Amino acid sequence: MIKRYSLMKKEDSPSVLADIKENDAGSVGDVMPMCIFVICIAYVLISFAGCVKLINTKTMVSQISRQYILKMETEGYLKEADKNEMLDDLSLAGLENINLGKTDMNPVGYGCRVTLEIKGSTEGGYEISEFRTSTAKY
């Protein structure tokens, strides 16, 4: 309800303070669920963004490991230059504290198994590991 004030004498004008003190019942109750909903949606979206980043990092590590296991198939092992290049690629993908564990660093014979093991962590402290094996075909 809109009240209009015309030119009146000060004594005749209704008190503005009295109008402000008059509240509609339930006005906070009408807005509160919407505020809670907005806060919940913001939390869900932020959590979702973190999960997407983690999934993206894992996918990139899988692609990098596939690329280098194919190189290892043709060479018979992971060469030092390839190792350094792979470590750079993994760092760019967001992996920290990288450990190559059981990765074959010395030549294996034709038809023997070559292994590539990558372990590391992300910024959030999540552990990521990738283990690939193949047969040397050089």
Q: Confirm whether 20 is domain-assigned.
A: no
Task: Return the pLDDT at 138.
Answer: 79
State yes or no: pLDDT of 78 exceeds 70: yes
Domain that holds residue 93: 31-135
Q: What is the CATH number of the domain that holds 112?
A: 3.30.1300
Q: Is residue 122 part of a domain?
A: yes
| Residue recorded with tokens 């060469």 | 79
CA–CA separation, 68 vs 73, rounded Å?
9
- Count of H-run helices and E-run strands, the chain: 3, 3
Q: Is residue 19 part of a domain?
A: no
> If you search the block for the tokens 């014979």, which residue do you land on?
109
pLDDT of residue 13: 53
Overall size of the chain counted in residues: 138
- Residue 21 covered by a domain: no
Picking from 56, 48, 53, 58, the residue whose alpha carbon sits closest to that of residue 120 is 58
pTM of the model: 0.71
Tell me whether residue 6 is in a domain: no
Could you give the CA distance from residue 101 to residue 65 in angstroms, rounded to a whole number?
13
For residue 31, the model assigns a pLDDT of 86
Whether 79 maps to a domain, the answer reads yes
Number of domains comprising the chain: 1
Quick check: is 2 in a domain? Answer: no
Q: Region 82-94: what's the mean pLDDT? A: 95
Nearest CA among 126, 83, 82, 119 for reference residue 101: 119
- Residues 2-29 have pLDDT tens digits of 555 555 555 555 565 555 555 555 577 7
pLDDT tens-digit profile of 33-72? 899 999 999 999 999 998 999 999 999 999 999 999 999 9
| DSSP H/E element including 119 | strand 113-121
pLDDT at 2: 58
